[in-house]
Chain A
Amino acid sequence: MHDDKRIDPETGTETTGHSWDGIEELNTPLPRWWLWTFYATIVWGVGYTILFPAWPMVSGATTGLLGYSTRAEVAADIARVEQSNAALTDSLTTIDLDALERNEELHRFAVQAGRSVFAANCSQCHGAGAAGVAISGYPNLLDDDWLWGGTLEDIAYTVRHGIRNEEDWDSRYSEMPAFDWMETGELAATADFVRSLSGLDHDAQAAARGADLFADNCSACHGESGLGDREVGAPNLADAIWLRGGTQEDIIQQMIAPRHGVMPPWGQRLGEAEVRAVSAYVHGLGGGENPVADPMSDPESENAADVPDASFPAGATQTPTETGEPPVQPAD
């Protein structure tokens, strides 16, 4: 074959013998180990597809001789994390909630875990930022206004049993009767009085008439000054926060055809540890209340609304236990 060898005169390089329109290809040989490396990658590739999951089949892929699976790896990771958190989870389940904040490590663990629980289970209604959805009546959890109490125990009870659901007999329950029998004028007068409670613009004369109507029809639940009653989940009407809107129309609408939000019970589904974790998270969002230890101001006093912690009767902080009586008898 040596006779066939053609050397390019310009470069002194042998040609491959390929010629296109008289242009010949120079042969600059690659190193041979390069070729062996290439073969080695093929062997590696074949071995890999035998040992590891690789070939797509009709349902799923071949599992590979080593039985490796990323899902199993994730499951093992999760199991490992749960194992390492087991002690924390246990103490979270059993600790007295009033003492949780004093246990810094456990509290941090609970808040971080609760953040995830909230994102997965609560944010659908209450929003990712926990600000609620005003137009749909999902409460804002960031503020200091709580229909059923804002201590850690109160929040945990609400999460555990939910509100006005039929699955859990211990769920918090209240129902505002419809005042659709009232005259239009009476409705407007009552609404004017309600607006006057928190200093909103109102017709003073109408409000004066509304005061009597309120005392007769509303004060049983909402209290004489409209401060609400957490025992029965009656909203505070004297503050700046309106779940169903605070305009004259909104208030009348709520009186004629009251809307009631429903929250499912999470105790069974999440388990006690996660219920407590998410409660700790919500409690730390800026509106959480502490069990009242300081001297209570008179709940009926005029300036009670300025002191949110004190704006409800002391009895409301008595947290019902899970096995105890429901805090509120169904009002129907």
Chain B
Amino acid sequence: MPTESPALFAARTPIFPRRVSGTFRRLKWAVLIVTLGIYYITPWLRWDRGPNLPDQAVLIDLANRRFYFLWIEIWPHEFYFVAGLLIMAGLGLFLFTSALGRVWCGYTCPQTVWTDLFLTVERWIEGDRNARIRLHDAGWSLRKWRLRLTKWTTWLLISVATGGAWVFYFADAPTLAQNLVTLNAAPVAYATIAILTATTFVFGGFMREQVCIYMCPWPRIQAAMMDPGTLTVGYRDWRGEPRGKGGVKQRHIAAESVGGGAVTAQYGSAVDKDTAAPRLSRNDEILGDCIDCNACVAVCPMGIDIRDGQQMECITCALCIDACDTVMAKIGRPRGLIDYLALDDQPPVRPGQSADVAAFAANPAGQVTGAQRPDWTPKPIWRHIFRPRTIFYTTAWAAIGVGLVVALFIRPQIDMTVAPVRNPTFVTLSDGTIRNTYDVRLRNKHGETRAFDLSVTSDSALSLTLEGDSDTVVDVPADSTWFQRVYVSAPPQAPAAARERSDMRIWVEDVVSGERAYDDTIFNGRESADVRTGNAG
């Protein structure tokens, strides 16, 4: 037994991802440019809403409690739109995760995108993997200081731009930019920029993969949302193993002694491109396609070996696919040793593992699909994407989306809420008139003042008056809510005055456009005849 506990804390092992090119790298560049472009440009888009409203296309106006998105304006009482969008985002995550695994992590997560950007800067200044490792190991020379300071300064500029762009979503961008430069902006703007600059700088420059591994809950949650039919980045071990370098000499010996054709037919993959002979190790083992070149490990921004199987650290950025495909092309083997694959598409047994080898031998296809076992065929990609589960998510997602759009278009142009005052339910006036009071909120979403005429309809004779106003017309200023106390009275002899409750409808009409809206409410009369004599006054 050990006499001393091993270290429970470890220093971070630095990762120096190598440059890689290929299909997925190009896709990631495109995603990076589009996402960063959206982030930086959006606040600067203009949208004309008239003289009294902001002309910023996307604006979260916290001070005035408004959210502007193009032609849509959301008020606090319509927060369900935001809730609906959040639910759609959640369902969208379910959909993409069940179909494509952690595709969010690998391509669009801000941590991934900014780390990618910072890595690009690092590679541009300090060189590729080997140069960076050398620089890391070297002492602090003038050159190292120069390179490091250049890199950090560039990172810092990107970070400031990142934090700086964020605040533009919350205020008029050109005005705020001017105020920021002239030191006239609100302290909270500077504080927000400072915090986001610091987090961007630290997370993108130094924390990197540790944010995903130690700080982020998504790796755990997303892993739980995947199933064996989910497409994810993986290593076809049945094709690659046993891995090994295999020498030329052995290759020739193998070709002569074993007889290429039979072995090729048996294992399908492990053949030399020139001799069509299987690659052999020094011990004359027949080798798989993996030449153990470590290209997949060298390019990995998470510092893992995908050949170890599915692991929590893998963000499925797919750069190892590009790296391996490049190598496979060089050694003349088909691409896809590391690939997007579903775990339930992999052969249940591997060459050399059991009697099933014979089954593989029965099919001399020599292809790498691994489809040599008669009772096993891989499903096409689309069947991994269109599954009952993903179709359900898509349907739910689309249903909420359609619901939100419909709700958006049937939003009333006149918005009124009527709240009866219940303390007290009614008041008796000197002449016996029964009066009810209502708190009415009128919302004018237009950019100009509107005059609203209020009226009441009921099966009884009711009349409506406004507090502090001689007529029934209210001028509601542009883009604001007007609170108006409204009195509804029933003469002593009216049925509504005696009934405990009567239905009534308060109408609001735009005096200019004639648009109307109503809200149904209740008129409370005397509960019984005797109440009249017991009323305070």
What separation, in Å, do the CA atoms of A99 and B6 have in the docked complex?
85
Q: Are A29 and B7 in contact (CB under 8 A)?
A: yes
Q: Are B431 and A305 in contact (CB under 8 A)?
A: yes
Contacts of B1-60 to chain A: CB distance below 8 A:
1-12
Q: Are B10 and A131 in contact (CB under 8 A)?
A: no
Q: Are B423 and A129 in contact (CB under 8 A)?
A: yes
**A129-B421, A143-B427 known; A35-B9 Cβ under 8 A:** yes
What separation, in Å, do the CA atoms of A243 and B537 have in the docked complex?
5
Nearest B residue to A12 via CB reads B308
Q: Are A305 and B430 in contact (CB under 8 A)?
A: yes
Q: Are A239 and B534 in contact (CB under 8 A)?
A: no
Contacts of B408-440 to chain A: CB distance below 8 A:
421-424, 427-432, 435, 437
19 A-B pairs besides A131-B424, A242-B536 with CB distance below 8 A are A1-B4, A4-B1, A4-B3, A5-B2, A17-B2, A29-B7, A31-B9, A31-B10, A32-B10, A132-B537, A140-B535, A200-B533, A239-B432, A240-B431, A242-B537, A243-B536, A286-B485, A308-B430, A308-B431
From B424, B429, B468, A145 is in contact (CB under 8 Å) with B429
Is A20's CB within 8 Å of the partner chain B? no
Nearest A residue to B532 via CB reads A240
Interface size class of B (residues with CB under 8 A): 35 or more
Binding site for B on A (CB under 8 A): 1, 4-6, 14-17, 19, 27, 29-35, 101, 127-129, 131-134, 137-140, 142-145, 198, 200, 236, 239-243, 245-247, 250, 284, 286-287, 305-306, 308, 311
What separation, in Å, do the CA atoms of A245 and B485 have in the docked complex?
29
4 nearest CB pairs, A to B: A241-B537, A129-B423, A4-B2, A246-B533
Is B214's CB within 8 Å of the partner chain A? yes
Q: Are B536 and A132 in contact (CB under 8 A)?
A: yes
Q: Are B536 and A286 in contact (CB under 8 A)?
A: no
Q: Are A240 and B428 in contact (CB under 8 A)?
A: yes
Q: Are B424 and A32 in contact (CB under 8 A)?
A: no
Is B67's CB within 8 Å of the partner chain A? no
From A17, A132, A142, A144, B5 is in contact (CB under 8 Å) with A17
From A14, A33, A34, A241, B428 is in contact (CB under 8 Å) with A241
Per-position binary interface string of chain B over residues 513-537, scored 1 when its CB falls under 8 Å from any chain A CB and 0 otherwise: 0000000000000000010111111
Is B467's CB within 8 Å of the partner chain A? yes
Q: Are A306 and B6 in contact (CB under 8 A)?
A: no
Q: Are A101 and B431 in contact (CB under 8 A)?
A: no
Chain A to chain B contacts (Cβ below 8 Å), 16 pairs: A29-B7, A29-B10, A101-B468, A129-B422, A132-B536, A134-B535, A143-B427, A240-B428, A240-B492, A241-B537, A242-B536, A243-B537, A284-B467, A305-B431, A308-B429, A308-B431
Residues of B within 8 A of A17 (CB): 1-2, 5-6
Q: Are B534 and A245 in contact (CB under 8 A)?
A: yes
Residues of A within 8 A of B5 (CB): 16-17
Residues of B within 8 A of A140 (CB): 424, 427, 535-537
Residues of A within 8 A of B423 (CB): 127-129, 131
Is B487's CB within 8 Å of the partner chain A? yes
Nearest A residue to B465 via CB reads A286
Q: Are A286 and B467 in contact (CB under 8 A)?
A: yes
Q: Are B424 and A247 in contact (CB under 8 A)?
A: no
Nearest A residue to B430 via CB reads A239
**A143-B427, A240-B431, A242-B533 known; A33-B6 Cβ under 8 A:** no
Is B210's CB within 8 Å of the partner chain A? yes
Interface centre among B6, B430, B530 (most CB of A within 10 A): B430
What separation, in Å, do the CA atoms of A27 and B155 have in the docked complex?
35
Q: Are B9 and A30 in contact (CB under 8 A)?
A: yes
Residues of B within 8 A of A128 (CB): 423
A249 smallest CB distance to B (angstroms):
10
**A200-B533, A240-B492 known; A1-B2 Cβ under 8 A:** yes
Interface centre among A101, A145, A247 (most CB of B within 10 A): A145
What separation, in Å, do the CA atoms of A328 and B535 have in the docked complex?
27
**A5-B6, A286-B437 known; A240-B536 Cβ under 8 A:** no
What separation, in Å, do the CA atoms of A286 and B492 have in the docked complex?
18
Q: Are A33 and B492 in contact (CB under 8 A)?
A: no
B231 smallest CB distance to A (angstroms):
27
Q: Are A142 and B467 in contact (CB under 8 A)?
A: no
What separation, in Å, do the CA atoms of A49 and B11 have in the docked complex?
31
Contacts of B178-220 to chain A: CB distance below 8 A:
210, 214
A264 smallest CB distance to B (angstroms):
19
Q: Are A306 and B487 in contact (CB under 8 A)?
A: no
Q: Are A240 and B6 in contact (CB under 8 A)?
A: no
Nearest B residue to A240 via CB reads B432
Residues of A within 8 A of B533 (CB): 200, 242, 245-247, 250
Q: Are B428 and A143 in contact (CB under 8 A)?
A: yes
Residues of B within 8 A of A5 (CB): 2, 6
Nearest A residue to B12 via CB reads A31
Residues of A within 8 A of B9 (CB): 29-32, 34-35
Q: Are A144 and B429 in contact (CB under 8 A)?
A: yes
From A16, A145, A241, B8 is in contact (CB under 8 Å) with A16
B209 smallest CB distance to A (angstroms):
11
From B430, B437, B485, A144 is in contact (CB under 8 Å) with B430
Nearest A residue to B468 via CB reads A284
B487 smallest CB distance to A (angstroms):
6
Residues of B within 8 A of A27 (CB): 6, 8
Q: Are A31 and B7 in contact (CB under 8 A)?
A: no
What separation, in Å, do the CA atoms of A128 and B431 have in the docked complex?
25
What separation, in Å, do the CA atoms of A30 and B214 have in the docked complex?
9
Nearest B residue to A241 via CB reads B537
Interface centre among B8, B11, B533, B537 (most CB of A within 10 A): B537
What separation, in Å, do the CA atoms of A29 and B214 have in the docked complex?
12
What separation, in Å, do the CA atoms of A214 and B23 have in the docked complex?
106
Q: Are B534 and A143 in contact (CB under 8 A)?
A: no
Contacts of B98-128 to chain A: CB distance below 8 A:
none
A2 smallest CB distance to B (angstroms):
10
Q: Are A129 and B430 in contact (CB under 8 A)?
A: no
Residues of B within 8 A of A247 (CB): 530, 533-534
**A32-B10, A131-B424, A143-B430 known; A138-B536 Cβ under 8 A:** yes
Residues of A within 8 A of B214 (CB): 30-31, 34
From A16, A127, A142, A198, B6 is in contact (CB under 8 Å) with A16
Nearest A residue to B4 via CB reads A1
B477 smallest CB distance to A (angstroms):
12
B283 smallest CB distance to A (angstroms):
23
Residues of A within 8 A of B210 (CB): 31, 33
**A17-B2, A31-B12, A34-B9 known; A142-B424 Cβ under 8 A:** yes
Interface centre among A1, A35, A250, A286 (most CB of B within 10 A): A286
B215 smallest CB distance to A (angstroms):
10
Q: Are B536 and A131 in contact (CB under 8 A)?
A: yes
Residues of A within 8 A of B10 (CB): 29-32
Q: Are B430 and A236 in contact (CB under 8 A)?
A: yes
B494 smallest CB distance to A (angstroms):
14
Residues of A within 8 A of B427 (CB): 131, 140, 142-143, 286-287
What separation, in Å, do the CA atoms of A172 and B492 have in the docked complex?
32
Residues of A within 8 A of B530 (CB): 247
B7 smallest CB distance to A (angstroms):
6
From B6, B435, B535, A241 is in contact (CB under 8 Å) with B535
A64 smallest CB distance to B (angstroms):
23
B307 smallest CB distance to A (angstroms):
14
